[in-house]
Chain A
């Protein structure tokens, strides 16, 4: 299995631009998670899907952030418009089964830099 796949690995953009991060979970996993990692705040859970349905998005920082999961093999995290404070590493993870206690497998992350 290829594991969780994220693209791009690195993204540099200018303030105000739209940014789309992509994630392909492990085949057969039905839960998907988006995390953000910064030096100041550590690792934070942004949103969690189960069977393609968003279960909890209370970790999403503000309306500029949105996430979708149109099918079981693909999810996007979009930031529009982007701001310098959005610079972080964004991780996607997937697990088998609902809830947070199944083993989560993390992707390599997307390092986002907003200038």
Chain B
């Protein structure tokens, strides 16, 4: 079964500074990778996803992520954060073909809580 690790539970960044949120996955083959954002009191919104092709993926709200197979990582980046980016960010992984078993389904990391300092 696949697993996802988000090593940072909390990250504090000054407004206007750059951001990188880390995500490491464990899966035997090429996974499908996702980043979701959850604003306070809201559901999850998909920021971007990687299936194949270019390893640098552009998403909404100015976010991008880079798939690095050698490091089993899919880190999320933004060159300049805004106060409205304060939220919980979830990395998720899915197998190339969902087999129907719960252990092979979409797996989320525990999340990284982003705090923006003025």
Binding site for B on A (CB under 8 A): 4, 33, 42-45, 48, 55-59, 91, 93, 99-101, 103-109
Contact = CB atoms under 8 A, between A and B. Distances in A.
Report, as a range, how many residues of chain B touch the other chain: 20 to 34
A99 B99 CA distance: 9
Given A100-B94, A101-B32, A45 B45 contact: no
Interface of B: 32, 36, 41-46, 49, 51, 90, 92, 94, 97-98, 100-103, 105-111
Nearest to B100: A56
Given A43-B111, A48-B105, A99 B43 contact: no
A100 B32 CA distance: 9
5 contacts: A42-B110, A55-B100, A100-B98, A106-B45, A107-B43
Contact of A45 (B42, B46, B49, B106): B106
Contact of B43 (A42, A56, A58, A108): A108
B108 A42 contact: yes
A45 B106 CA distance: 7
Contacts of B32: 100-101
B44 to A, nearest CB: 4
B105 A42 contact: no
Contact of B109 (A42, A45, A91): A42
Given A42-B111, A101-B49, 10 more contacts: A33-B106, A42-B108, A43-B92, A43-B111, A91-B44, A93-B43, A101-B94, A106-B36, A106-B43, A108-B43
A59 to B, nearest CB: 4
B94 A43 contact: no
B98 A99 contact: yes
A43 B45 contact: no
Contact of A101 (B45, B51, B110, B111): B51
B46 A103 contact: yes
Given A42-B108, A59-B105, A106 B100 contact: no
Nearest to A91: B43
A104 B102 contact: no
Contacts of B51: 101
A107 B90 CA distance: 15
